[in-house]
């Protein structure tokens, strides 16, 4: 019996108190530079970056502290210190340091692509009033590395500040870049010396972003950024030499380039936007010249990502100008689509919707909103369904991925969102990821874990089928049998209770339902868990001990948990484990379902769900409904509507006869594609609104061309519940329109009096109606400002939930007993498990990322990963064409033999324009939310030919050889024979400053 | 029953429709910027009358080649010296306060000074600086004229240095 062990051992809370209380957020050490900045004194510097910290390579920030020369960026500030920043002696050593820098970097600012006001060498030369240099410029004699599709490295312009290395080693933690300090002429190297393209570089762009000059540069900038940068190279070379000869000093050169920079500002537009490639919610400035995207420039103040990006966010925007974009509305006539006017398309849509409503009632229509569109657009979609048509048949594609996680959280803690912020994940003592290939699916968030793990002693546990990058880095990697996460979670929870390691004080004060819950754990012994999951009991005990020993734990999970028949129950089990161990309501703790698309969270938050209004208030609650009826006018439907899955069933049963789908390729992304497509064929009338003629749009009667994020305004909510604004960077292409305008105009044609002239007006209405967003205004979201819901009317937001209680009637969380749903076995010789999910380079159905030549260069097509064991057994080599057959369909795809998968497990990316995994998936769904059980697919494999062409080119980062370093390793620079501390020859060798 | 289709019949605009649409855009711009355009037309007419427009047309039509030739011409020791001298002269001129100089001349006109006063003035530090500057300039001219050689001085950032 578990009960008898209840109060054995020292309760967790007690142990934490004995160790000196709960951990508080630690403030970083204050340096002399921090102190001077507080006083409004800016010391020159080039290697220091606020997001990277001190690097100590440039020697420009030297100051005299208590009579000794020190680097202000690294020297700890002490109370009472005497600091001199402007004495002649200090200025002299700084000038010496600058001389050394300029001997490695040729100043030709006016004809340089980086002359955009943010070139830090340019600005520092100006700040220090440098007029000439004493050491001449010396080329390094290495060629420019132009091999990579997105950026190039020019060693001759590189000052070896090491920012790129620090960013790669310790912020992105891909560990590709380093400086070869022992070379005769040091330079930055990739993987210890390969070309950039053939290295392990994942194209995240961190190095380019932090480069203080033009040594690392986006190729889209080259020849485009300035008025004189497009000149032929030999002419340009001559101009540089003449300019240097003719200029009397740098002040004049700087003045001329400053003028040219001001002219550029008129031509190059910088617009803040929010990335649409995952739920992390990276924001950055996007630089455009006309419709051309010159670069993506992240900013330190970006709340979710700071200066971080991934390959898609930094470089994956070519789709914006794809000739395949839809630019005019289309109407189906016979076997063809015909381009038409907005007037005709919208009138036809309104007329047909009305016809279906009048003949079949409002519930004969269904509405699917997009988790890639804005909150305002989700709000308008659900308002259109409920208020204009009169049905609650409205849903969004979070149904395909994240609804089970939300369900699990609603059951236990009351809010359907992350418990804290990404900062909490970074600060946790222990991070556990379950069913999440975080480095591929949420790359920027993964960097925070990798950094904390590498630098700050954070422990990492990864539970997954796939041995991906995070698994390789983990302190403990657990590899359960598919669909058995619930079992090991329950067993570990029971073991913790058995040992008396649960947080009795927390549970007593803040949690209901302990006894029933503990009883429900009875079957889940470690032995049972080992037999079901295949995880050895010793490893499960190790995990329990790590939970016991950690002051704070965050558990992150994604579709490896949710896309199962028991997805909601496993999500509940995760939250239960956190409650048992007291890991809610404190910094560095909590549950973190990692939202997939950019606005999975917001589209649901703003009511595009069949059972709730914005802010998750039930449509069946009369008082709530009355509030909306008063604001919107007219009567609203009283019963919850159908979700995506049920809508398809309803179509096939003759219920729903018309669908309106925005930004969702349901025919591709819903499971069991043949079933979905069969349903679409049965519709009387279908409207699809998208950027491209997707597989879904091909079934439509009317196709409306929409605008992507860069062509409109609005807001998204990221995985941290953070509401962020995006601004319009370029005009809509052709006659395409922002979705909110299309929705408004369609509603008007359906008789609604919708006055919105800007998305801000939509947000104002939502904030008025849903208390969760009461204090959200566009003014409060200006620029890089953001708000994490719930937001009080005065604008107070909630970066961290549950500190003062849970949003339940008595303020307590609930431990919720759940049964384990074993996966259905597929009969008939389907002997292989087809695991599936994301890859780093591509997104969703590939409509956007396959339009990028650079991304296609890295990953040209999809492939199925086959284990070495299976490959040996079946004689499969890289590039063999194989047919995968499931009870629901078959697909042909190239094979890649991979150590990431084991035995009879396969892995197929969900992003492809060729082989769709959903041709193979079935119609089983999560029992609570109807999310398809995409991960429970069994197939058989037939080898079609053995004439291999490897589907993954040799220049994919997977084949690179990382070169982990502690960072820039500046000590190696200081040990060089040719390095002396400025003005310190003979007495300050090896870089020591005192 | 709607089968998936992917053929799109583009709404082709006739040449006349395209022309009409372009004209509408132009007319709109003309109407919105009437004053500025009238001024611009006046300037263009003036440039044409004086042959400047023709010159510009020629220059722009082969701009890249001309730029390359000019730059290569200037990228010789003589060309660089011309540019350097121009910029150095600019720097020198920027340092002279000619208005102050004119005041001194007028002072000389009014005050009749004897040799004693003149010698006294020569001892003034500002006058000494002026004399030294003139002396340096004359020495430099003599040296340059005499040698006709580039002295191989290292300029800031000179890669050859």
Q: Do B80 and A242 touch (CB under 8 A)?
A: yes
Q: How far is B62 from chain A (nearest CA, A)?
A: 13
Average pLDDT, chain B: 74
HEC string for A932-960:
ECCCCCEEEEEEEECCCCCCCCCCCHHHC
A234, A252, A681: residue with CB nearest B2: A681
What pLDDT shows up at residue A235?
81
What pLDDT shows up at residue B113?
65
| Residues of chain B neighbouring A135 (CB-CB closer than 8 A) | none
> Chain B within 8 Å of A102 (Cβ-Cβ)?
yes
Q: Do B71 and A242 touch (CB under 8 A)?
A: yes
Mean pLDDT to the nearest integer, A915-925: 89
- Cis preceding linkage at A790, omega within 30: yes
Rg (CA), chain B: 32
User: What backbone torsions phi and psi does residue A103 show, to the nearest 5 degrees?
Assistant: -75, -10
Q: How far is A134 from chain B (nearest CA, A)?
A: 7
Report which of A9, A19, A3, A13 is spatially closest to residue A508, judged by C-alpha positions: A13
Mean pLDDT to the nearest integer, A496-506: 97
The count of C-alpha atoms lying within 13 angstroms of the C-alpha of B3, restricted to the half-sphere facing its C-beta, is 5
Question: Is the Cα dihedral A851, A854, A855, A861 positive or negative?
Answer: positive
Burial A595-610 (b: 16+ CB within 10 A, else e): bbbbbbbbbbbbbbbb
| Residues of chain A neighbouring B90 (CB-CB closer than 8 A) | 248
In a domain, B152, yes or no: no
Mean pLDDT to the nearest integer, A939-957: 88
Q: Which CATH number fits domain A832-959: 2.40.40.20, 1.10.10.60, 3.40.50.300, 3.40.640.10?
A: 2.40.40.20
Q: Which residues pair with A190 in a beta bridge?
A: A177, A194
Query: B-contacting residues of A 417-476, CB under 8 Å?
Result: none
What pLDDT shows up at residue B70?
78
Average pLDDT, chain A: 93
Domains of chain A, by residue range, sit at 330-400+600-756+765-772, 403-593, 832-959
What pLDDT shows up at residue A933?
92
Burial B92-128 (b: 16+ CB within 10 A, else e): eeeeeeeeeeeeeeeeeeeeeeeeeeeeeeeeeeeee
| Residues of chain B neighbouring A137 (CB-CB closer than 8 A) | 157-159
Mean pLDDT to the nearest integer, A502-529: 97
**Token pair in block for residue A93:** 């050593």
B11, B67, B71: residue with CB nearest A339: B11
pLDDT, greater one: B147 or A813: A813
What pLDDT shows up at residue A846?
85
The continuous run of DSSP H or E covering A897 comes out as strand A889-898
Q: How far is A349 from chain B (nearest CA, A)?
A: 16
* Percent with pLDDT over 70 in chain A: 95
Q: A17: pLDDT confidence band, cut at 50, 70 and 90?
A: very low
**Per CATH, the architecture of A403-593 is what?**
3-Layer(aba) Sandwich (3.40)
Q: How far is A213 from chain B (nearest CA, A)?
A: 17
Q: How far is B36 from chain A (nearest CA, A)?
A: 20
Q: A767: pLDDT confidence band, cut at 50, 70 and 90?
A: very high
Residue A7 pLDDT greater than 90, yes or no: no
What pLDDT shows up at residue B156?
37
Query: B-contacting residues of A 113-132, CB under 8 Å?
Result: 131-132
Mean pLDDT to the nearest integer, A737-744: 98
Lowest-pLDDT range, A836-840, B100-104, B117-121, B151-155?
B151-155
What pLDDT shows up at residue A508?
96
> Chain B within 8 Å of A681 (Cβ-Cβ)?
yes
Chain A interface test: which of B9, B157, B161 (most A C-beta within 10 Å): B157
Q: How far is B122 from chain A (nearest CA, A)?
A: 31
Q: Do A106 and B157 touch (CB under 8 A)?
A: yes
What pLDDT shows up at residue B98?
65
Chain B interface test: which of A245, A684, A685, A695 (most B C-beta within 10 Å): A245
Provide the ipTM. Answer: 0.84
Mean pLDDT to the nearest integer, A12-35: 64
Q: Do A328 and B11 touch (CB under 8 A)?
A: yes
Lowest-pLDDT range, A82-91, A281-290, A566-575, B54-63?
B54-63
What pLDDT shows up at residue B2?
85
Q: How far is B9 from chain A (nearest CA, A)?
A: 5
Split into its structural domains, chain B has a count of: 1
What pLDDT shows up at residue A255?
87
pLDDT tens by residue, A125-150: 999 999 888 899 999 989 999 999 99
Q: A914: pLDDT confidence band, cut at 50, 70 and 90?
A: confident
Residue A472 pLDDT greater than 50, yes or no: yes
* Nearest residue in A to B6, CA atom: A698
pLDDT tens by residue, A150-189: 999 999 999 999 999 999 999 999 999 999 999 999 999 9
> Chain B within 8 Å of A323 (Cβ-Cβ)?
no
What pLDDT shows up at residue B112?
62
Q: A844: pLDDT confidence band, cut at 50, 70 and 90?
A: confident
pLDDT tens by residue, A348-403: 999 999 999 999 999 999 999 999 999 999 999 999 999 999 999 999 988 888 89
How far apart are the C-alpha atoms of A162 and A868, rounded to whole Å?
A: 39
What pLDDT shows up at residue B102?
56
pLDDT tens by residue, A553-573: 999 999 999 999 999 999 999
What pLDDT shows up at residue B18?
87
Lowest-pLDDT range, A65-74, A264-273, A910-919, B59-68?
B59-68
Mean pLDDT to the nearest integer, B84-107: 66
How far apart are the C-alpha atoms of A419 and A591, rounded to whole Å?
A: 6
Q: Which residues of B lie inside 8 Å of A (Cβ-Cβ)?
A: 1-11, 64, 67-68, 71-72, 74-75, 79-80, 83-84, 86-88, 90-91, 154-159, 161
Residue B12 pLDDT greater than 90, yes or no: no
Q: Do B159 and A241 touch (CB under 8 A)?
A: yes
What pLDDT shows up at residue A12?
55
How far apart are the C-alpha atoms of A245 and A253, rounded to whole Å?
A: 11
Question: Number of residue pairs across A and B with CB atoms under 8 Å?
Answer: 111
Q: Do B64 and A232 touch (CB under 8 A)?
A: yes
* Nearest residue in A to B155, CA atom: A245
| Residues of chain A neighbouring B62 (CB-CB closer than 8 A) | none
pLDDT tens by residue, A247-274: 667 888 888 889 889 999 889 999 999 9
Between B15-32 and B34-49, two packed helices, what is the crossing angle to 10 degrees? 100
Q: Do A698 and B5 touch (CB under 8 A)?
A: yes
What pLDDT shows up at residue A15?
52
What pLDDT shows up at residue A992?
44
A245, A680, A700: residue with CB nearest B155: A245
Residue A331 pLDDT greater than 60, yes or no: yes
Q: Which CATH number fits domain A330-400+600-756+765-772: 3.40.50.740, 3.30.460.10, 3.90.550.10, 3.30.70.20?
A: 3.40.50.740
B3, B68, B83: residue with CB nearest A245: B83
Rg (CA), chain A: 29
Among the residues of A685-758, which ranges form H helices?
739-749
Q: B143: pLDDT confidence band, cut at 50, 70 and 90?
A: low
Lowest-pLDDT range, A246-260, A332-346, A589-603, A771-785?
A246-260
Residue A18 pLDDT greater than 80, yes or no: no
The continuous run of DSSP H or E covering A717 comes out as strand A714-717
Q: Do B159 and A106 touch (CB under 8 A)?
A: yes
**Domain with B33 in it:** 19-61
């Amino acid at each position: 019996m578990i009960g008898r062990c209840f109060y054995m051992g020292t309760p967790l809370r007690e142990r934490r108190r004995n160790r000196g209380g709960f951990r508080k957020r630690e403030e970083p050490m204050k340096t002399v530079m921090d102190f001077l900045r507080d006083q409004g004194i800016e010391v020159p510097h080039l290697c220091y970056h606020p997001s990277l910290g001190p690097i100590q390579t440039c020697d420009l920030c030297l100051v005299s502290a208590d009579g000794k020369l020190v680097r202000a960026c690294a020297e700890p500030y002490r109370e009472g210190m005497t600091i001199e920043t402007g004495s002649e002696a200090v200025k002299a050593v700084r000038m010496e340091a600058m001389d050394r820098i300029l001997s490695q970097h040729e100043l030709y600012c006016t004809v340089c692509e980086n002359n955009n006001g943010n070139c830090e060498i340019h600005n520092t030369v100006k700040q220090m009033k440098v007029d000439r240099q004493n050491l001449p410029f010396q080329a390094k004699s290495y060629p420019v590395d132009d091999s990579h599709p997105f950026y190039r490295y020019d060693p001759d312009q590189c000052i070896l500040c090491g920012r790129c290395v620090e960013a790669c080693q310790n912020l992105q933690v891909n560990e590709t870049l380093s400086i070869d300090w022992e070379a005769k002429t040091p330079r930055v190297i990739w993987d210890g010396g390969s070309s950039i393209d053939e290295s392990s570089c994942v194209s995240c762009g961190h190095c380019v972003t932090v480069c203080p000059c033009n040594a690392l540069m986006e190729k889209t900038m080259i020849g485009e950024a300035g008025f004189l940068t497009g000149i032929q190279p030999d002419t340009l070379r001559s101009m540089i030499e003449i300019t240097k000869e003719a200029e009397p000093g740098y002040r004049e050169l700087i003045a001329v380039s400053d003028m040219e920079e001001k002219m550029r500002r008129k031509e190059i537009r910088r617009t803040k936007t929010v990335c649409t490639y995952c739920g992390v919610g990276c924001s950055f400035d996007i630089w455009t010249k006309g419709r051309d995207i010159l670069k993506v420039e992240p900013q330190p103040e970006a709340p979710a990502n700071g200066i971080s990006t991934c390959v898609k966010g930094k470089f994956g925007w070519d789709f914006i100008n794809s000739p395949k974009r839809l630019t005019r509305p289309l109407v189906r006539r016979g076997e063809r689509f015909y381009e038409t006017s907005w007037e005709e398309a919208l009138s036809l849509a309104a007329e047909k919707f009305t016809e279906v409503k009048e003949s079949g009632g409002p519930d004969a229509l269904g509405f699917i909103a997009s988790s890639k569109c804005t909150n305002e657009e989700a709000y308008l979609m659900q308002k259109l369904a409920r208020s204009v048509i009169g049905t609650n048949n409205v849903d969004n594609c979070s149904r395909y991925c994240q609804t089970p996680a939300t369900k699990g959280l609603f059951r236990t803690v009351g809010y359907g969102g992350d418990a804290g912020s990404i900062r909490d994940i970074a600060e946790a003592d222990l991070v556990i990821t379950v069913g999440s290939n975080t480095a591929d699916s949420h790359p920027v968030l993964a960097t925070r874990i990798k950094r904390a793990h590498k630098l700050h002693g954070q422990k990492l546990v990864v539970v997954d089928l796939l041995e991906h990058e995070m698994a390789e880095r983990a302190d403990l990697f657990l590899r359960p049998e598919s669909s058995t996460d619930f079992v090991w979670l329950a067993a570990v929870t029971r073991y913790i209770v058995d040992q008396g390691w649960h947080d009795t004080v927390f549970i007593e004060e803040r949690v209901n339902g302990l006894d029933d819950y503990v009883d429900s754990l009875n079957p889940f012994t470690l032995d049972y868990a080992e037999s079901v999951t295949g995880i050895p009991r010793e490893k499960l005990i190790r995990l329990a001990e790590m939970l016991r020993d950690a002051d704070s734990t965050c558990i992150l999970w994604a579709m490896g948990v949710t896309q199962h028949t028991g997805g909601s129950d496993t999500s509940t089990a995760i939250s239960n484990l956190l409650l048992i161990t007291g890991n809610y309501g404190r910094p560095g703790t909590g549950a973190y379902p990692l939202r997939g698309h950019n606005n999975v969270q917001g589209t649901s938050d703003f009511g595009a769900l069949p059972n709730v209004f914005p802010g998750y208030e039930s449509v069946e609650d009369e008082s709530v409904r009355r509030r909306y009826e008063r604001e919107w006018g007219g009567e609203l439907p009283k019963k919850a509507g159908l979700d995506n899955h049920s809508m398809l069933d309803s179509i096939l049963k003759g219920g729903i006869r018309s669908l309106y789908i925005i930004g969702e390729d349901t025919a591709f992304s819903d499971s069991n594609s043949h079933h979905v497509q069969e349903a679409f064929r049965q519709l009387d009338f279908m409207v699809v609104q998208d950027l491209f003629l997707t597989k879904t749009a091909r079934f439509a009667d009317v196709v409306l061309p929409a605008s992507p994020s860069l062509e409109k305004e609005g807001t998204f909510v990221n995985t941290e519940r953070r509401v962020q604004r995006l601004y319009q960077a370029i005009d809509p292409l052709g006659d395409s329109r922002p979705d909110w305008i299309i929705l408004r105009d369609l509603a008007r044609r359906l008789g609604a009096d919708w006055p919105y002239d800007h998305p801000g007006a939509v947000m104002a209405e939502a904030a008025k109606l849903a208390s969760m967003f009461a204090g959200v205004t566009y003014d409060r979201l200006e620029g890089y400002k953001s708000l994490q819901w719930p937001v009080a009317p005065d604008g107070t937001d909630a970066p961290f939930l549950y500190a003062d209680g849970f949003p339940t009637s008595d303020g307590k969380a609930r431990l919720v007993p759940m049964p384990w749903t074993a996966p259905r076995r597929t009969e008939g010789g389907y002997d292989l498990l087809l695991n599936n999910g994301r890859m780093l380079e591509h997104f969703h159905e590939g409509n956007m990322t396959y339009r990028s030549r650079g991304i296609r260069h890295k990953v040209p097509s999809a492939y199925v990963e086959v284990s070495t064991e299976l490959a040996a057994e079946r004689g499969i080599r890289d590039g063999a064409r194989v047919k995968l057959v499931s009870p629901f369909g078959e697909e042909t795809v190239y094979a890649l033999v991979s150590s990431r998968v084991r035995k009879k497990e396969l892995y197929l990316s969900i992003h492809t324009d060729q082989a769709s995994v959903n041709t193979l998936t079935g119609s089983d769904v999560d029992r609570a939310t109807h999310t398809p059980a995409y991960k429970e697919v069994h197939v058989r494999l037939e080898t079609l030919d053995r004439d291999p062409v490897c589907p993954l080119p040799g220049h994919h980062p997977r084949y690179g050889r990382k070169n982990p370093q502690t960072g820039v390793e500046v000590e190696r620079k200081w040990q060089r024979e040719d390095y002396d501390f400025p003005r310190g020859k003979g007495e300050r060798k090896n870089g020591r400053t005192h | 029953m709607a089968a998936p289709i992917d053929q799109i019949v583009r709404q082709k605009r006739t040449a006349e429709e395209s022309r009409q649409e372009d004209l509408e855009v132009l007319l709109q711009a003309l109407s919105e910027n009437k004053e500025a355009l009238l001024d611009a037309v006046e300037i263009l007419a003036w440039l044409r009358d004086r042959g400047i427009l023709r010159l510009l047309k020629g220059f722009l039509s082969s701009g890249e080649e001309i730029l390359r030739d000019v730059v290569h011409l200037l990228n010789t020791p003589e060309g660089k010296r011309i540019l350097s001298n121009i910029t150095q002269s600019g720097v020198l001129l920027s340092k002279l306060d000619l208005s102050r100089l004119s005041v001194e001349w007028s002072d000389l006109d009014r005050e009749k000074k004897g040799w004693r006063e003149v010698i006294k003035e020569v001892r003034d530090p500002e006058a000494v600086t002026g004399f030294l500057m003139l002396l340096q300039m004359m020495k430099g001219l003599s040296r340059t004229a005499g040698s006709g050689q580039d002295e191989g001085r290292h300029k800031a950032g000179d890669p050859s240095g």
